Amino acid sequence: MSQPSIEAVTSFPDDCLPPEHDYETKDALSTSINAWATTRGYAFITGRSTKEKTGRQTITYTCDRSCRPPSALRERQRKTTTRGTGCQFLVLAKETLDRTWTLQHRPDKRFSTHNHEPSQHPSAHPVHCQLSKDDAIQLASLVNSSITPKDIRTYIR
């Protein structure tokens, strides 16, 4: 059995962009595109949100590594780190007249490629580490029933 090449592990798949599709709600769209991104080694965050005069929204979902790293030329008071690489990968979500959401790609090639390697595990992205609504409700009920944090942790694992 052959080992996968290093390039296969350190590059994004060709189907990196989520498929253009219509969604009933903004939450359904966000959940869907992040589920798509999880298996491909990245995550989406809301980059910008604008509202037209008609009241319809346009949301830009960017790669979660889109922020710029701090300048090495400037002296800093604190030694901080960032996961940001200035990645320009993004998709657009537009609200339609009937209040559904349409996912669209930008035509320019620079918005459909990453400038970093894919992550090896979903836990590298804070978006993928959030509890689902059902898990949050279950956790709240455990906390309200006077169970100790140690026992809650054991139960959840």
What percent of the chain shows pLDDT beyond 70? 93
Looking at residue 126, its pLDDT comes to 80
Looking at residue 74, its pLDDT comes to 79
Q: Are 42 and 89 in contact (CB under 8 A)?
A: yes
DSSP 48-100: EEEE-TTS-EEEEEEETT-SPPPPSSS--SS-----------EEEEEE-TTS-
Average confidence score pLDDT of the chain: 83
Q: CB-based burial of residue 126 (10 Å sphere; 0-12 exposed, 13-18 middle, 19+ buried)?
A: exposed
DSSP 105-151: E-SSGGGG--SSPPPSSGGGSGGGGSPPHHHHHHHHHHHHTT--HHH
| Residue boundaries of the structural domains of the chain | 6-121, 125-157
Residue 50 phi, psi (nearest 5): -125, 155
Distances, alpha carbon 10 to alpha carbons 13, 34, 41, in Å:
10, 20, 10
- Say if residue 6's pLDDT is above 50: no
pLDDT tens-digit profile of 81-102?
777 888 889 999 999 989 999 9
Q: Are 20 and 29 in contact (CB under 8 A)?
A: no
Can you tell me the distance from the alpha carbon of 53 to that of 138, in angstroms, rounded to the nearest whole number? Answer: 41
Quickly state the pLDDT bin for 10 (edges 50, 70, 90): low
Which tokens sit at 122?
């979903």
- Say if residue 57's pLDDT is above 60: yes
Residues 131-155 have a mean pLDDT of: 84
Radius of gyration of the chain (CA): 19
